[in-house]
């Protein structure tokens, strides 16, 4: 027998090509995952976010106030979305994540500028994600000295002498004033870990039963599809709560992450998120023919979740189309929930604002899973 035979080598290679062609899902993942990574990292990921939503709390409608707003808009970092009537509305907009910044221009701003009194201008920033605000704040501190250089001329030029800003700019970094990255990353890990484990474990567990033939025995019983799905979900819900407890303890006692809100409210919100991920795993298990395909689909779901949710990169730094895709993913909304409760002290009224998209996701995915499961009964 020859040590190496070219015909045998060609036959084996042709056999592998034929098998690859038949396994279209695996071949699609091999092509789709690199393309998805190329698109996301090339177009969607941006560590220097621009055009971040900014609200204006203005008590002075003079031309100097408009010049400050125009200068901030021209920097590219700030996009003014509207005016807020009072300080309570400003606080609520930051708590809900509707805006990243709130600019406060005091009453008598123009009068104090003309008299050289250096009025105080306050910028409130949602600093729960330090990477999303640091560059914008640095740019604002630089342009403050130049924002009114075309307005304060002639006899009004005295307040802008020696390159100093004609007003006193104060930055209020809310929810994470020291810019500690652990305060942002560690709570986010709760959502990342749950997404990874719940989707993969559920998809593999059900697919494994199908491969071993035990699913056929289950299908032969008079069990309703919904009963099967709930029975599969409950043990993993308990497992998910064990993971959440471990992460919360580490966040509190190891990383010193502040817990400003209600832990029971957080645990109730976790249930909705766990069910969302488990339902995705069950849906994948009804599509996959083997455990390898189930793992591939789980990874295909996990990769955009971690990249487009705002966990690794600032959400507002992504282009609009990437933000639309991110809004579909449960992890995006859960990160806002967990960071809002732990860092901002959000209550039920603020949490519901981010929970209903996850609940809607559950309804859609569970409906698809039940439909696919009924097909397997046939």
3-state secondary structure of 320: helix
pLDDT of residue 129: 86
Question: Does residue 162 sit in the same domain as residue 192?
Answer: no
Output DSSP code: residue 315. G
Question: Does residue 64 sit in the same domain as residue 160?
Answer: yes
Per the domain annotation, does 366 fall within a domain? yes
Question: Does residue 162 sit in the same domain as residue 193?
Answer: no
Stronger pLDDT, 47 or 327, i.e. the higher one: 327
Question: Does residue 123 sit in the same domain as residue 64?
Answer: yes
Percentage above 70 pLDDT, the chain: 88
pLDDT at 277 over 80: yes
How do residues 118-160 score in pLDDT, each as one tens digit? 888 899 999 888 888 888 888 888 887 777 766 665 555 554 4
Last residue of a domain, one of 150, 174, 198: 174
Question: Does residue 155 sit in the same domain as residue 195?
Answer: no
Question: Does residue 193 sit in the same domain as residue 250?
Answer: yes
Residue for token pair 């104090």:
112
How do residues 328-354 score in pLDDT, each as one tens digit? 999 999 999 999 999 999 999 889 999
Beta-sheet strands, E only, within the chain? 52-58, 78-83, 101-105, 120-126, 168-174
Question: Does residue 87 sit in the same domain as residue 202?
Answer: no
Query: What are 295's two structure tokens?
Result: 């793992």
Question: Does residue 134 sit in the same domain as residue 241?
Answer: no
63 Cβ contact list (under 8 Å, min separation 6)? 110, 151
Taking the C-alpha atoms of residue 186 and residue 312, their distance in angstroms, rounded to an integer, is 11
Last residue of a domain, one of 135, 154, 174: 174
How do residues 101-112 score in pLDDT, each as one tens digit? 999 988 888 888
Residue ranges making up the domain that contains 326? 182-377
Q: What CATH code is carried by the domain that includes residue 149?
A: 3.40.1710.10
pLDDT of residue 161: 47
Question: Does residue 165 sit in the same domain as residue 300?
Answer: no
Question: Does residue 159 sit in the same domain as residue 188?
Answer: no
Percentage above 90 pLDDT, the chain: 29
Question: Does residue 170 sit in the same domain as residue 217?
Answer: no
pLDDT at 378 over 50: no
Domain tally for the chain? 2
Last residue of a domain, one of 116, 147, 174: 174
308 Cβ contact list (under 8 Å, min separation 6)? 40, 44, 315, 318, 322, 325, 326, 329, 332
**What integer is the mean pLDDT of 7-14?**
79
Per the domain annotation, does 217 fall within a domain? yes
Tell how far CA 70 is from the center of its chain.
30
pLDDT at 377 over 70: no
pLDDT at 245 over 90: yes
Q: Quote the pTM value.
A: 0.83
């Amino acid at each position: 027998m020859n040590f190496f035979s070219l015909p045998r080598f060609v036959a084996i290679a042709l056999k592998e090509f034929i098998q690859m062609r038949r396994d279209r899902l695996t071949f699609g993942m091999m092509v789709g995952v690199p393309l998805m990574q190329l698109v996301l990292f090339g177009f969607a990921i941006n560590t220097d976010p621009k055009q971040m939503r900014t609200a204006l709390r203005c008590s002075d409608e003079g031309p100097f106030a408009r010049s400050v707003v125009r200068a901030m808009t021209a920097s590219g970092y700030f996009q003014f979305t509207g005016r807020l009537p009072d300080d309570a509305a400003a606080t609520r907009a930051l708590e809900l994540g509707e805006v990243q910044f709130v600019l406060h221009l005091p009453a008598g701003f123009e009068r104090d500028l003309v008299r050289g009194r250096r009025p105080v201008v306050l910028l409130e920033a949602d600093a729960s994600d330090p990477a999303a605000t640091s560059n914008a704040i640095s740019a604002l501190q630089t342009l403050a000295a130049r924002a009114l250089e075309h307005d304060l001329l002639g006899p009004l030029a005295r307040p802008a002498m020696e390159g100093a800003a004609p007003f006193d700019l104060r930055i209020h970094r809310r929810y994470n004033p020291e810019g500690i990255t652990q305060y942002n990353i560690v709570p986010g890990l709760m959502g990342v870990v749950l997404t990874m484990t719940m989707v993969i474990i559920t998809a593999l567990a059900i697919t494994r039963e199908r491969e071993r033939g035990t699913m056929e025995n289950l299908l032969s019983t008079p069990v309703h599809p919904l009963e099967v799905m709930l029975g599969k979900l409950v043990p993993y819900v308990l497992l998910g709560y064990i993971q959440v407890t471990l992460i919360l303890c580490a966040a509190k006692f190891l990383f010193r992450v502040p817990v400003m809100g209600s832990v029971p409210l957080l645990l109730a919100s976790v249930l909705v998120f766990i069910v969302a991920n488990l339902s995705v795993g069950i849906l994948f298990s009804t599509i996959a023919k083997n455990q390898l395909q189930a793992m591939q689909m789980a990874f295909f779901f996990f990769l955009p979740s971690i990249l487009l949710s705002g966990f690794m990169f600032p959400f507002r730094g992504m282009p609009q189309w990437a933000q639309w895709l991110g809004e579909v993913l449960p992890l995006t909304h859960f990160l806002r929930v967990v960071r809002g409760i732990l860092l901002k002290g959000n209550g039920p009224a603020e949490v519901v604002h981010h929970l209903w998209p996850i609940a809607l996701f559950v309804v859609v995915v569970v409906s698809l899973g039940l439909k696919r499961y009924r097909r397997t009964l046939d």
